[in-house]
Structure 1
Amino acid sequence: MPVAKLIATVNQMLPPSPNNIGFIGGIRTRPHDDVGVRPYIKRGTSVMSLDPAVINGLFALGGVLAGAIPAVVAACFKERSESRRHLRDQALKVALEAWRVRLERQMAVQPLEHQVIYSTLLAQLASENRLTPDRVKARLNDISAIVDVMAKHSASKVARS
């Protein structure tokens, strides 16, 4: 028995519906004399048959999207990590230069590690989005607290030596 006849027989066993529309395997179908039964999309009162070329095009579009979306997400993460790495490199250069200048001028020199951490924290502050005066004050207080803890730790380390 050809598939079209089988589907027509099953549709005849179903209760009648408008426009002679049946359900086969969860897909709405409509009988056609030339090709048997085709899937369709019903819009309002008109019925639009889906041509096999349209279905193939939709699957191709889905395949393109399935392949492109992960690549775009990976590129965004890569750009973000490169931006952070560049920021850390710039903070390190600034810290080294500031430490060198203080050493040349014989000013009070804090350990290089402290200068690097301080510069990195300030660079992160400068790169934050949506800066407001209150957020900057709070963040600077946090940075000062971190630097104070590092200074106390260094002082206790020197006292033990």
Structure 2
Amino acid sequence: MEMVVPADLEHRVAALIGVPFRVKGDDLDGWDCRGCARWCLKHLCGVDVPDYLDLYASAIIAVSGRRERARLLGEGLAQTWRPVPPQAGAVALLSWLGSAGHVGFILSPTKILHADIRVGTAVLDLDDPAAAYRLKGAFVPAFVTDIRHA
């Protein structure tokens, strides 16, 4: 399947800035990082992926569960996602204080739209030395065979 990434992606997501953070949220009323990335893939690139709500077992929702969530992401999603160079339309795996477990939607190689409990939906600038998150990798669903930037 070809994924088409709109050329005006940053313009299109401007209206999403400020959408509130909501655990397990998956729409414009509020979302978590997973819900934000999933919504963007579906509504901006035409790619529908599972909701992955099974990753929200009670043992991994707590902040102390970040390591377990990162392990599950690494093991489970490795079967259904494939790494790509950081580019618009891909999903970013991000780390905070060295531990992976946060995702965002890549707008450009240095800008990522993400939903964070502290700030809601915002654009992360990886070139900002004060940025709280660091890019660990970029991924697309394994069934995406080609990425076209239109």
Q: Which TM class, normalised by the smaller chain length?
A: under 0.3
Name the one with the larger strand percent: 2
Name the one with the larger helix percent: 1
TM-score, normalization: structure 2?
Answer: 0.23
